[in-house]
Structure 1
Amino acid sequence: MSRIRMGTAPGRWVLLATVLGSGLAGIDATVVNVALPTIGAELGTDFAALQWMVTGYTLTLASFILLGGSLGDRYGRRRVFVIGVVWFAVASMLCGLAPDAGLLIAARALQGVGGALLMPGSLAIIQAAFSGEDRARAIGAWSGLGGVATAIGPFLGGWLVESVSWRWVFLINVPLAAVVVLIAVRHVPESRDAEATGRPDIAGAVLGALALAGTTYALIEAPGRGLGTPSVLVSALLGLLAAAAFLLVEWRTAHPMLPLQIFANRQFSATNAVTFLIYAAFSGIFFLLVLHLQVVADFSPVAAGTAMLPVTALMLVLSPRAGALGARIGPRLPMTLGPLLCAVALVLMLRIGPGASYVADVLPGVIVLGLGLSLLVAPLTSAALSAVPERQAGLASGVNNAVARAAGLVAIAVLPAAVGLTGDAYSDPAVFRAGFDAACLIGAGVLVLGGVLAAVTIRNPAARAAVDAADEHPAHCAIEGPPAAPGALHGVPRGAAP
């Protein structure tokens, strides 16, 4: 396939298709959080159902995103990308038309499968279509434009909830997806990995999904149903058995979805351990923050959805500079100080209470958080990618992506129950504030642990290798996006991340 140049019409079409495609999943992740209080009130759901509306999507996305990348390599990246976009659109329509919480949760899980097909393809298409300096510029443009697109999500979601209906948070994806498919079919060249061999690791993907689903169900439902309830015990046992079977299959199969040998690299394993802690803290807090701003501080959906936009602005401006700094001095210091700054930000968020002022009570924590994230995510990206040989960069990005999403899945399942937010707590401002304050302190503690772990385990590679890695993989990452790939920043965290 002949390479496409930046600044040409074919290059612009490829960028437009990939940015819009990945933006679909990114916007949807942030929009749903803003709409949760309204959805809960209209459908008469409890807090566990709201958790499932988020974790149902994250569960299938985390389970199948590595498989989605593998399918694209084997059967055509454009083909799998387009299938993912269509799948996502159909699932979005089902979400928008869902008459009750159960069907909405099921449709959200289907959305996650579509996201797992389209998100790896968006970056893989760019990597295959461009080369050399044009590839670096294209990835940088994809990251920046994707950041702008997903930052619009919370504002758009809040406006739709207030002015039209929460259902249009999902239905708006359908016409956008139609545009993406039309552009991709007409203007995006097909590509595949000629060296990809063997059959896709379907068994590994299914076992991984069962492991995550079983343990997540047990963690979310145990507080309400009781730890000794048969359904909770069976799901926990199923999750543990599936996890053991997943490890066995991945160790023995010839073409595993997750080659376990990659974790023999201590720098890569350490980076992913730090990733898990950091993204667990962010995912749990940001799931609760948008609810907290509406339930306790009485912010409108639009105001709550746009509260984190300064984080987006700071990261778009400062992340490239932090990436350059990390290339010069190594990732250890930024990965140590970044989580500590973010921990301070969570402590500052304890100021948010009834009648809170955005400027006096919300903005200080938001600014400190933006500075901490700007310092942290770019070196984290480079550390994950530069820890392995260049031929494994795609695998490293996918694994880091899956780790970040799995961390979010566990945090959203565990944290609310740990701080007493169950049942109809989201409708009681006093109860919710006490739970949110406890969650902020727990999150700050986890972030401190992540910073300490980075200080102890992360090594600074040779300066030349770090610079090469930064040049080859521009460091732009989403809060909600997994850290090991250029990603778009969500105003309220979401994916190494695409």
Structure 2
Amino acid sequence: MKKKDVRIFIFVLGIFVCMLDTTIMNVSLPKIGQNLNVGLDELAWALNVYLILFSALTIPLTRVSEYFGPERGFICGTLFFGIGSLLSAMSDTLLALLIGRGIQSIGAALVFPLAMTLAIKSVPVQKRTGVISLLGITQGIAAALGPTVGGVVTQFLGWRWLFLINVPIVLLMLGLSLKYLSMARESKQSVVLDIPGAILSILFLSCFSVGLMQGRIWGWTDWPTIMCLGSGMIGFILFIIVEYFSKNPMVPLRLFSDGSFSIAAFVIVVSNLFLVATTVILPNYFTNVAGMDTLQASLLITPISMAIFVLAPLSGLSLSRVSAGWLLSGGFFMMALGYVWLGTGGLGDIKETIVAGLLIGGGYGVITGPILVIAAGHLQGELLTASQSVTGVLRQVGPMLAVAIFVTGLYSNLTLARQHTHDYAQQQIEVLDLPEKNTQHVLADTDQKLRATVFSPTNTKNMPIKLAKQIAKIETYGRDQLCQAFNKLYLITVPFIIGCAIISFILGNKRTRSGGV
């Protein structure tokens, strides 16, 4: 194997583990919570800290690595990621897990953008398309595979192996890096660091991230959320001002004057938002409403990954023959069709759920195959490096928005479903004319089931026949209401996906005609 190919293989591995760990814990949180004896809201920080630090540190750490050498930075990031994985696997408390995940995210903030930049630079400009497509496909597949891998590993090996599986990959990366990366010949570059820009980028990205991830728990109108989002907005405005006047900006603003990159930036955010809205929300439905175990839930997410794996390379290769606008809009329309399928009863049948997953994953694959080629296929030097750190951040913005929007919407729908079920239960029990004490007992039991981790049927074996029938009707109604809470979430989203398809078609074809894509 040629040295160039080995180097690209190293960078692909780095991108894969970084993106895999953004979603690998999603379906395993209940198991981890039981082991560490913490609630899901607290444990969610183990997910949040990775996304928050990953997005906040990517831009400044990438710039710092330019001073010491990008290949040295890549190896340093790989070490951090491996150490963080080991600490996470050995953690016996939530604090220890958060520390491990934090160290992991520092490593990811170095590995991901540097792997992208170094891999793209390893080939001539005219041969970039294949490599960039490979990198984009790796990102999409890894993020979509996370819940499936997490469920299978947790079921058969235990949750600690969610992190231990990273260790052999990291050791392989380090061994190959020491042999094939030319870090010994890297000289320190005379890079003037934009310290104010670095501080402001960390400030506004951290504040925005915390506000988006915690807004549902704190309350969107409560002062902690308002302070975080307000501070993020102020920090962002100050960041733009500083970068505009800086001689050595953290992010060259002229990057966004490039029409192709701007289109790609928008598409990266919204496509990842719509993808994560299924890979995070669907396992919740399968385990909490349908009563499946972690393994079954994770396997039902697998069609999404399979479709990405098949269609992403085909879409990337077709960019030379089909305009960017047609590919991007076609991908969004496929995702919209998958959402319609889920919202109109697809969740009630495993085969239909699989079809919907194939449509959503296929649509994302059609988008992600060419999107990095559109974003960076023609960039060089400083703009290429900056583009990879920015796209790294944008890939985390999508999942954070998905959690903020879809989880909030889901909780709102579930609250309404529980209230409807409570009212229905009251009506059904009243017709039996039971003693008040018995009526309240049935209602309390119904409410408890609606809030339980899994909606399990009541044992009505020793109950009067009329009461048993009414309870069965109530539970059927309750499950239907919970299912509709998920259905409504996906149906409401469809117009927004179609809007993204139209915008992508107009902008993508406009850039194609002007020679930008």
Report the TM range for the smaller structure's normalisation.
0.7 to 0.9
1:21 maps to which of 8, 14, 21: 14
Q: Residue in 1 aligned with 2:386?
A: 395
Is the alpha carbon distance of 1:286 and 1:313 closer, same or farther for their aligned partners in structure 2, counting shifts above 3 Å?
A: closer
Kept in 2, the 8 Å contact 1:62–1:116? The answer is yes
1:409 corresponds to: 400
Aligned CA distance change for structure 1 residues 455 and 367 (closer, same or farther; 3 Å): same
- Say if 2:276 and 2:399, in contact at 8 Å, map to a contact too: yes
Alignment partners' CA distance in 2, 1:74 and 1:432: 54
Q: Name the residue aligned to 1:427.
A: 453
Shift of 1:132: 6.9
Partner letter of residue 339 of structure 1? F
Instruction: Name the CA shift for 1:278/1:136 in 2 (closer, same or farther; >3 Å).
Output: closer
Alignment CA distance shift 1:48-1:213 (3 Å):
farther
Classify the secondary structure of the residue corresponding to 2:183. Answer: coil
* Cα distance between partner residues in 2 of 1:143 and 1:456: 23
- Coordinate RMSD, CA, aligned: 3.6
CA distance in 1, matches of 2:12, 2:370: 23
Distance 1:425 1:253 in 2: 53
* Secondary structure at 1:255 match in 2: coil
Is contact 2:59–2:390 with CA below 8 Å preserved after alignment? Answer: yes
Change (3 A) 1:109 1:346: farther
Deviates more, 1:172-181 or 1:188-197: 188-197
| Distance in 1 (alpha carbons) for counterparts of 2:211 and 2:141 | 37
SS in 2 for 1:276: helix
Q: Which residue type is aligned with residue 21 of structure 2?
A: D
Once structures 1 and 2 are overlaid, which stretch shifts more, 317-326 or 341-350? 317-326
Aligned partner of 1:99 in structure 2 is 92
- The letter of the residue matching 1:436 is F
Distance 1:296 1:256 in 2: 50
Tell me by how many angstroms 1:158 deviates. 2.1
Instruction: State the shift of 1:347 in Å.
Output: 2.1
**2:491 — aligned with what?**
441
- For the residue of structure 2 that corresponds to 1:459, the secondary structure is helix
Query: Partner residue of 1:33?
Result: 26
Say whether 1:362 aligns with 2:412.
Answer: no
- For the structure 1 residues 464 and 367, does the alpha-carbon distance in structure 2 shift closer, same or farther, using more than 3 Å as the test? same
Do 1:35 and 1:157's aligned partners in 2 also have CA atoms closer than 8 Å? yes
Distance 1:187 1:379, change over 3 A: closer
Provide closer, same or farther for how the CA distance between residues 265 and 130 of structure 1 changes in structure 2, counting only shifts above 3 A: closer
Equivalent positions of 1:289-438 (< 5 A) are: 289-350=282-343, 351=345, 353=347, 356-358=348-350, 360-385=351-376, 392-420=383-411, 427=453, 429=455, 430=479, 433-438=483-488
Are the structure 2 counterparts of residues 126 and 269 from structure 1 closer, same or farther at C-alpha, using a change threshold of 3 Å? closer
CA apart distance, 1:251: 1.9
Residue type at the aligned position of 1:25: C
8 Å contact kept, 1:334–1:376:
yes
1:217 to 179, 191, 210: 210
Q: Pairwise mapping of residues 35-184 of structure 1 onto structure 2 (< 5 A)?
A: 35-131=28-124, 153-184=146-177
Instruction: Work out whether residues 74 and 193 of structure 1, in 8 Å CA contact, stay in contact via their aligned partners in 2.
Output: no
Give the drift of 1:365: 0.3
The amino acid across from 1:288 in the alignment is I
Normalising by structure 2, report the TM-score.
0.76
Gaps of 5+ in 1: 1-6, 470-498
Q: Which residue of 2 aligns with 1:190?
A: 183
Is the 1:328–1:463 contact (alpha carbons within 8 Å) kept by the matching residues of 2? no
Give distance in 1, aligned partners of 2:374 and 2:188.
27
- 1:494 counterpart residue number: none
- Report which stretch shifted further, 280-289 or 223-232: 223-232
Higher helix share: 2
2:424 alignment counterpart: none
Q: Which has the larger radius of gyration?
A: 2
- Partner of 1:453, secondary structure, is helix
Identity %, equivalent residues: 20
Contact kept? 1:274, 1:454, Cα under 8 Å: yes
Query: 1:462 deviation in Å?
Result: 5.2
1:457 aligns to what? 507
- The Cα of 1:118 is off from its aligned counterpart by 0.9
Structure 1 position 253, deviation (Å): 1.9
For the Cα contact (< 8 Å) 1:220–1:417, is it kept in 2?
no
| 3-state DSSP of counterpart to 1:328 | coil
Per the TM alignment, residue 387 of structure 1 is displaced from its structure 2 partner at its CA by: 7.3
TM-score norm. by structure 1 comes to 0.79
- Cα displacement string for residues 353-383 of structure 1 (whole angstroms, at most 9, x for unaligned residues): 4xx553x232110122233223322343333
Per-residue CA distance 1:19-55 (angstroms, 9 max, x = gap): 3333322332332123123224444545543543323
SS of the residue aligned with 1:254?
coil
- Quick one: which amino acid aligns to residue 283 of structure 2? V
Q: What is the aligned length?
A: 457
* Letter paired with 1:189: S
Measure the CA separation in 2 of the matches of 1:198 and 1:38.
46
